[in-house]
Amino acid sequence: MTAAAEKRPIYLDCDTGIDDSLALAYLLASPDVELVGVGTVSGNTSAAQAARNSLALLELAGRSDVPVAVGAHDPLRGRFDGGVPHIHGHNGIGGVEVPEASRRPEEGTAAELLLRLSREYEGALEVVAVGPQTNLARALALDPALAGRVAAVTAMGGAALAPGNVTAVAEANIWNDPEAAQIVIEAGWKVTLVPLDITLENTLDEGDRARLLASPVPLARALGQMLDHYFEFYLPLYGVRSCPLHDPMAAAVAARGVVPTRAPAVAVEVDTTDGPGRGQTIADLRGQRRGALDQEGATVRVVLEIDRPLGPHLVDLLV
């Protein structure tokens, strides 16, 4: 058997991004999964820049075999807002200069790559989506049968009971394309949503960063350098130089490096109005007071607790 047959195949959809880079590195290092493709989308940075970053990081990791496709520049409705250089740096990876990759992205779009992989690994492919979900929505529009060929979708996005991070209730990935997120949520495939409730409670700190910087692994060292910028942004939130683990949490849940211990399957709906709740991921968590109760017919799990802190495990895996 080939490695890809033994390991669960994963397509990563991302807006690389510092924490996207951590997620990418996590999936590359994870023993039980095989990264078989990367699609990019505008979010933290543009889809094109996210592809340049992804290609460069893959080459740094010696994994130039993983195809990378540029996906949607704009959300389904409206225009890409230019990203968040104050969080992820001018180039999306904290201003760190990683050597440009020697290869170019795939010819087709990210949606097309996802569709191709879903046929190649029919019934086995898992999707890890850590950016706005535009590519997934576009792929579903191109071929609604996609949902039936994908084994699972794990998406970083939303805020269940925690406050949002763009508005009082909206998390960035969903905020950047609420219409796409709603399409993904109601597609009927098995979605595991990894919201701010859990990602903000798992962090890296200067000790973790020092370990990454001291690693013999080039990608780990590059990640350690990126975190300098990221830590600075999060200093006011945490009071110490550190960062939440948004995207790597979705990667770790998908790769089963951490195991959700409280993740009820509940009705989830994205607010696609133009009201004050736009972009909110409304998860129906009523009735969860006496333990995690799955709602009948619900296809979306919301991860609220995991079995161990992600930070130390993440660094152990990467260095």
- DSSP three-state, residue 102: coil
Of residues 15, 177, 208, 247, which has the active-site annotation?
Answer: 15
Q: Which part of the chain contacts a second copy (CB under 8 A), choosing from 20-28, 73-81, 157-165, 186-194?
A: 157-165
Is 246 a catalytic site residue? Answer: yes
Residue 32 is classified by DSSP as T
Kindly state whether residue 161 participates in binding a second copy, applying the rule CB under 8 A: yes
Whether 3 and 229 have beta carbons less than 8 Å apart is answered as: no
Closest CA to 57 of 109, 99, 94, 87: 99
Is 13 a catalytic site residue? Answer: no
Kindly state whether residue 205 participates in binding a second copy, applying the rule CB under 8 A: no
- DSSP three-state, residue 250: helix
Of residues 197, 208, 246, 271, which has the active-site annotation?
Answer: 246
Of 216, 275, 296, 307, the one binding a second copy by CB under 8 A: 275
Closest CA to 61 of 69, 50, 53, 73: 53
Query: Measured from the CB of residue 268, what is the shortest distance to a second copy in angstroms?
Result: 9
- DSSP three-state, residue 302: strand
Kindly state whether residue 207 participates in binding a second copy, applying the rule CB under 8 A: no
Whether 138 and 174 have beta carbons less than 8 Å apart is answered as: no
Closest CA to 149 of 121, 172, 169: 121
Total number of residues that touch a second copy (CB under 8 A): 31
* Interaction mask 74-113, a second copy, x per CB under 8 A: ----------------------------------------
The catalytic residue positions are 15, 246
Interface positions with a second copy (CB under 8 A) = 161-165, 167-169, 237-239, 267, 269-277, 280, 282-290
